[in-house]
Amino acid sequence: MSAAPSDRARAIGDRVEAFVRDVVAPYEKDPRIEVHGHGPSEELVAELRARAREAGVLTPHILANGEHLSQRETAWVLRKSGLSPLGPVAVNTMAPDEGNMYLLGKVGTAEQKARFLEPLVAGMARSAFFMTEPASEGGAGADPSMMQTTCRQDGNHWIINGRKAFITGAQGARVGIVMAKSEDGACMFLVDLPDPAIRIERLLDTIDSSMPGGHAVVTIDNLRVPADQMLGRSGEGFTYAQVRLSPARLSHCMRWLGAATRANEIATAYACRRQAFGKLLVDHEGVGFMLAENLIDLQQSALMIDWCADILDAGNIGTAESSMAKVAVSEALMRVADRCVQIMGGTGVSGDTIVEQVFREIRAFRIYDGPTEVHKWSLAKKIKRDFLTAASA
Q: What pLDDT is stored for residue 5 in this prediction?
A: 76
Beta bridge partners of 191: 176
Residue ranges of the chain with pLDDT lower than 70? Answer: 1-4, 36-37
Count of positions (residues) in the chain: 393
Identify the pLDDT of residue 316.
Answer: 94
- The three-class DSSP label of residue 158 is strand
| The predicted structure's pLDDT at residue 3 | 57
Residue range(s) in the chain whose domain bears CATH number 2.40.110.10: 127-234
For position 141, what pLDDT does the model report? 82
Q: Name 151's bridge partners.
A: 160
Residue 110: Cβ within 10 Å count: 8
C-beta of residue 279 within 8 angstroms of C-beta of residue 99: no
Distance, CA of 97 to CA of 252 (rounded, Å): 12
Reported CATH class of domain 127-234:
mainly beta
238-392: CATH architecture: Up-down Bundle (1.20)
pLDDT value of position 4: 61
pLDDT of amino acid 341: 98
Domain limits, CATH 1.20.140.10, in the chain = 238-392
At 276 the pLDDT is: 95
Q: Please indicate, yes or no, whether the overall pTM of this predicted structure exceeds 0.85.
A: yes
**pLDDT of 9:** 96
